[in-house]
A and B are shown apart, each in its own frame.
Chain A
Amino acid sequence: MRGGNAALGAAGFAAFLLLAEAVPRLGLVGEEYFPPASRIADALGTELADGAFWTALGDTLTGWAAGLAIAVVAGIVIGVLLSVVPYLREATASTIEFLRPIPSVALIPLAVLLYGTELGSVLLLVVYASFWQVLIQVLYGVQDVDPVAEETARSYGLGTWARVRHVLWPTALPYVMTGVRLAAAVALILAITAELVIGAPGLGARIAVAQTSQAVPEMYALIVVAGVLGLLINVGARSVERRALAWHQSVRGEVAV
């Protein structure tokens, strides 16, 4: 069954590539707007041989990884803090509900003024957007802590730190992983946005340059790269998350029996 699905999927992908080749070749769309897949592949080959491309890719990944790391650490630390200190969760709820939906792109002009096209601009946007994803999931996770387990830990006289370490954290971990997965995808979107709009060095900036210089096949090649990058991040984050979830459920199963 599985093999059959993979074959169908491969066929679907082949059909997609064929379509991307045929539509411009048949003149259904002008080649200057949408070059055939083979020309995009050519341009991709040229890009891959270009050192500047790899520098740009490195820049994008640096902004993504650094921003994500800051957001994850901050999200976890603040999330745990809010849950452990009495009344803090309640006191911050309305503020979080207000700040969270603020689109991070609203900060673009501020980023430009403060950091120009430096890494700081990318980080500001990436951290702001992905921080909330992590924080919210941590808070969900802590809410899910079994009150019986918490009571047991208290009755055995476990201190705050021990309770965080042995009760709260194991329960919240799968949620944290979900938060990291969501944050990883959002971080890439914002990293590319910052490069594209502000001009911070990276794939996004390279796409903007290709667009203004009418290098259409190169632009599509770079977009394909961005897509592959997004795909790898999604797949990687999902497999990490699944591992964390599997561990969680096996533990749960033992408790339930």
Chain B
Amino acid sequence: MRPLLLRLVFALALPVVLVAVWWVSSADSEDVYWPPLRTILETFPGVWTGERWRGDVLPSVLRLAAGYVLAAVAGVALGTLIGSYRRVRAVCEPVLEFLRAVPPPVLVPVIMLFAGIGDTMKIVVIASGCVWPVLLNTVEGVRAVDAVMTETARSYGITGAARLKDVVLPSASPQIFAGLRQALSIGIILMVISEMFAASNGLGFTIVQFQRSFAIPDMWTGILLLGLLGFVLSVLFQLVERRALGWYHGLRAAARRSR
């Protein structure tokens, strides 16, 4: 184990250098498209606090959360159902493979037809794009429950809801989380483009407005904010995953050691 200080230097050195390079090289930039970093950072607080925080950022994040949670619940529930029965799986698989292969952004115009351009449309777009990786990974995870574990559960009379809760879902959880991770990046994409396509508020909408009105520093703050949002959500996801799958990482590490 390296000393903490050295690790800190390794973690921070490159980001600091990169920001410094950006700062210096753009310091007296006259190019409209590449404003000085200084200007961007000075613009940031004014743009994204107060009204826009409540009116654009929060609605976007809430819609993402609603659509994502909807997709996660539906994907795990349906995936467990389909994965538990061999015949159901055989019937559904080709259709599901096709639906998964449809690039999620094309859902935006379709769902606009049904649901207009309101919050419902965006939540449905996000949910129907995120559901496939969760669903298919759950099917795969539920299908692959170890035969010995299944027999153990059966011989000790662990059946029905208890079997689902204590055996099937935990056993499938590594795959389910892999699906949830894919779904998260798809969800962010759909959140942004559903707002770019048709909206009157939200992060995507506002950033495109800035670009169209050539408010370039403001646009750059939007890009930074979206990047930050992606980063924060990914960190949150990792925290949850590490907690939920602590056993799995431990098991893998134990298996590697004995290899």
The reply to whether A and B meet directly (CB within 8 Å) is: yes
Which residues of A are in contact with B by a Cβ distance under 8 Å?
4-5, 8-13, 15-16, 32-34, 87, 90-95, 98, 100-110, 112-114, 188-189, 192-193, 196-197, 204, 207-208, 210-211, 216, 219-220, 222-223, 226-231, 233-234
Q: 1/0 contact trace for B216-249 toward A, CB 8 Å?
A: 1001001100110111011000000000000000
For the side of the interface on B, what is the size category? 35 or more
In the bound assembly, the distance between CA atoms of A114 and B219 in angstroms comes to 13
A231 neighbours in B (Cβ, 8 Å): 97-98, 101
Measured CB to CB, the nearest residue on chain A to B203 is: A106
A223 neighbours in B (Cβ, 8 Å): 102, 106, 110
Q: A106-B192, A211-B112 are in contact. Are A94 and B11 (CB under 8 A)?
A: yes
Q: Which residues of B from 83 to 100 have beta carbons under 8 Å from A?
A: 87, 90-95, 97-100
Measured CB to CB, the nearest residue on chain A to B12 is: A94
In the bound assembly, the distance between CA atoms of A208 and B222 in angstroms comes to 25
Counting CB contacts under 8 A, is B189 at the interface? yes
B211 to chain A, nearest CB (A): 4
B92 to chain A, nearest CB (A): 6
Q: Which of A8, A95, A207, A234 contacts B106 (CB 8 A)?
A: A207
Q: Which of B11, B91, B189, B229 contacts A9 (CB 8 A)?
A: B91
Counting CB contacts under 8 A, is B150 at the interface? no
Asked if A234 contacts B101 (CB within 8 A), the reply is yes
Asked if B102 contacts A12 (CB within 8 A), the reply is no
Asked if A109 contacts B99 (CB within 8 A), the reply is no
B22 neighbours in A (Cβ, 8 Å): none
Counting CB contacts under 8 A, is B3 at the interface? no
Question: Nearest 9 A-B pairs (CB), nearest first?
Answer: A230-B101, A101-B234, A106-B226, A12-B91, A109-B211, A8-B90, A211-B109, A227-B102, A102-B227
Q: A9-B94, A196-B108, A197-B197 are in contact. Are A108 and B101 (CB under 8 A)?
A: no
Asked if B223 contacts A107 (CB within 8 A), the reply is yes
Q: A192-B106, A227-B99, A230-B103 are in contact. Are A10 and B226 (CB under 8 A)?
A: no
A203 to chain B, nearest CB (A): 8
Q: Which residues of B from 184 to 229 have beta carbons under 8 Å from A?
A: 185-186, 188-189, 192-193, 196-197, 204, 207-208, 210-211, 216, 219, 222-223, 226-227, 229
Extra contacts besides A109-B207, A113-B33, A230-B100 (19): CB < 8 Å? A11-B91, A13-B98, A32-B113, A91-B14, A101-B185, A103-B192, A103-B227, A103-B229, A106-B226, A109-B222, A110-B33, A113-B219, A188-B103, A193-B105, A196-B197, A197-B193, A211-B113, A226-B102, A226-B103
